[in-house]
Amino acid sequence: MADLFRSVINIISVFAIPLMIAVFLGWGFIKKVHVYEVFVEGAKDGFQTAIRIIPYLVAMLFAIGIFRASGAMDLLAMIISPVTNLIGMPADTLPMALMRPLSGSGSLGIMTELMKTHGPDSFIGVLASTMYGSSETTFYVLAVYFGSVNIKNSRHAVPVGLLADLAGMLGAVFICRILFGI
Amino acid sequence: MLNYIWIFLIAVALLVGAGKDLNDEVRNTYQNGVPLEVTFLSPQIPAGSVLRREGQFYLTANQFNDFYKTTSQHEEVKQPAVISLSADGSGTFIFSSADATPELWKRMSTSASARDQLTGTVEKIEFSDDKSWAKAVILLEPIRFVKLKAITQAAIDFANTAVEIAIGLIGVMALWLGLMKVAEEAGLVKVLTRMLTPLTKRLFPDVPSDHPAIGAIIMNTAANMLGLSNAATPMGLKAMEELNKLSPKTGTATNAMVTFLAINTGGLILIPATAIAVRAAAGSANPGIIIGTAIFGAGCATLTGIIASKILQRLPRYKKEMPEEEKVAKEERHG
């Protein structure tokens, strides 16, 4: 069942982009849109948008980068671990949960390390990879998306993003404990 | 809020980094200035008065742990090294950090004078009769401020990474924005948005249901779920641009933007390909076992994000920053 689901999704993923190109341009051509001119017109914005996000991305990534380099994550994990022990979340996976919203490459590194130490099919290995799949890198998305339209006042976006991450991590612990619990 | 988190990350990083370096200094974690007795294994027969010999520094795990007062080393140390000796018996050595290098030496080498290499002086060396090994006393170069050096390096590296990411986006951005423009002109986006109007009307009540923003949001979400991140980001940025056109106050996030961001950061993806690939590489018997659990986790995150965005937007402190509803109401009266 899971295998069937996986192969169906994989096939859709492979066909999605060629299909979109064909349908978008084909439909446009039939509707007598000047496809080439309109494409170029739209593509012009690509450069501007990408350049616009640079200052936001530098501000965000540099702060996260030095935070990672300082080793403060271990300290933070140590402070929070009594709370997470109560809900049955292994202390080893706590840095993973804390890193996930901050840095994609950082959490990828932690996940790989955990699998090397504990094995990919151990409870910790399964939980860490579930956590990795349970959320996006909130602060990266925030910097890129808001940066692209020069938004400086993010209002409730940060608390919303962090609540979502918290729910994702707790959800991962909950479902892994039920299905693969020790 | 972002202000506080940003300054928190930076302040904590600097404080913890400085604190750890101070701790290292007080406890002399890297045994600066303390000579280390090692066995130097070198099968080559030397020639000439100035000797340059390749070989290995050999230490048992216990010797290493006793010297550095740790318990981190579990295997015997066999570190390839090159020593240069002059006639009077004094000399220097150098070795590169490699996979088999002890973790502690690896860490030390990151802030050594030559990057990823450790150097030092040979205080004393006595060769065996057949010259194939020697008892040596070495002194490693002093290692200081490991964390502060790492922080400096990270600040520069990540600033560069940010620019690389942005520059890397230009091509795919241009491609997808071009395709989206054609789809928009052809009226294709309208067809797509009409199908999902019942859902999008509830999620984004402030956005007219046939607005191009809705089309971009739908396509972004679909691309994200399929794991097509190359296509998802340009569509997401297009959605932000369209949402920004509806904003009465530029520079401030609207309710619709925050809800859209919540859907994105929830990261609902049907096949968590990266996690599966790492699991497979680590030798998992069943790499795909996490598909279901990851969908559950991401579902929790997405749902919570949407609900939280709807609740928090009503709080007075966030409401007063975006006079959205008042403005819409006023326009209706005038119109």
Q: How many CB pairs under 8 A join A and B?
A: 386
- The percent of residues above 70 in pLDDT, for chain B, comes to 94
The tally of domains found in chain B comes to 2
Pair (B174, B323) in one structural domain: yes
Residue with tokens 């699991």: B279
Would residue B158 count as lying in a domain? no
Instruction: Compute the distance between CA of residue A50 and CA of residue B169 in angstroms, rounded to an integer.
Output: 6
Residue B326's pLDDT band, with cuts at 50, 70 and 90, is: very low
Would residue B161 count as lying in a domain? no
Q: For B280-303, b where at least 16 C-beta lie within 10 A, e where not — what string?
A: eebebeebbbbbebbbbbbbbbbb
Q: How far apart are the first and last CA of chain B?
A: 37
Pair (B47, B139) in one structural domain: yes
Confirm or reject contact between B269 and chain A (CB < 8 A).
Answer: yes
Please tell me the distance in Å from B55's CA to the nearest CA on chain A. Answer: 31
Report the residue of A113, A160, A173 to disrupt the B interface, i.e. the one with the largest count of B CBs within 10 Å.
Answer: A160
Q: What is the ipTM of this complex?
A: 0.90
pLDDT of residue B335: 39
Would residue B230 count as lying in a domain? yes
Confirm or reject contact between A1 and chain B (CB < 8 A).
Answer: no
By residue range, what is the domain housing residue B292? Answer: 169-334
Pair (B125, B211) in one structural domain: no
Residue B221's pLDDT band, with cuts at 50, 70 and 90, is: very high
Who's near B118: CB < 8 A, 6+ residues apart?
B94, B95, B97, B105, B108, B109, B112, B140, B141
Residue among A21, A62, A150 minimizing CB distance to B159: A62
Would residue B153 count as lying in a domain? no
Question: Which residues 37-56 of A have a C-beta within 8 angstroms of B?
Answer: 38-47, 49-51, 53-54
- Convert the pLDDT of each residue in B164-204 to its tens digit: 999 988 998 899 999 989 998 998 888 888 888 889 999 99
- Convert the pLDDT of each residue in A112-167 to its tens digit: 989 988 999 999 999 999 999 998 999 999 999 999 999 999 999 999 999 999 99
Pair (B225, B133) in one structural domain: no
Would residue B23 count as lying in a domain? no
Task: With CA atoms as reference, report the closest residue to B181 among B216, B222, B207, B229.
Answer: B216
Q: Where a domain ends, among B76, B108, B143?
A: B143
- Convert the pLDDT of each residue in B44-89 to its tens digit: 665 554 578 888 899 999 999 999 988 888 888 999 998 888 777 6
pLDDT of residue A121: 93
Would residue B266 count as lying in a domain? yes
B215 to B153, B169, B207: CA distances (angstroms): 42, 21, 11
Q: Where a domain ends, among B91, B125, B143?
A: B143
Helix (H, G, I), strand (E, B) or coil at B33: coil
Q: Do A152 and B6 touch (CB under 8 A)?
A: no
- The percent of residues above 90 in pLDDT, for chain B, comes to 47
Pair (B117, B195) in one structural domain: no
Would residue B219 count as lying in a domain? yes
Who's near A16: CB < 8 A, 6+ residues apart?
B223, B226, B228, B231
| CB of A77 closer than 8 Å to CB of A112 | no
Question: Which residues 146-175 of A have a C-beta within 8 angstroms of B?
Answer: 146, 148-161, 163-172, 175
Confirm or reject contact between B316 and chain A (CB < 8 A).
Answer: no
Confirm or reject contact between B220 and chain A (CB < 8 A).
Answer: no
DSSP letter (8 states) at residue B128: -
Query: What residue segments make up the domains of chain A, in order of their start?
Result: 1-33, 45-180
- Convert the pLDDT of each residue in A47-87 to its tens digit: 888 899 999 999 999 999 999 999 898 888 889 999 888 88
Which ranges constitute the DSSP H helices of chain B?
2-27, 61-68, 103-110, 146-185, 188-195, 197-203, 212-225, 229-246, 255-266, 273-281, 290-312, 316-319, 324-334
- Beta-ladder partners of B213: none
Work out the number of other CB atoms within 10 angstroms of the CB of residue B53: 21
Would residue B210 count as lying in a domain? yes
Instruction: Compute the distance between CA of residue B241 and CA of residue B65 in angstroms, rounded to an integer.
Output: 58
> Using a CB-CB distance cutoff of 8 angstroms, which residues of chain A are in contact with residue B6?
59-60, 63
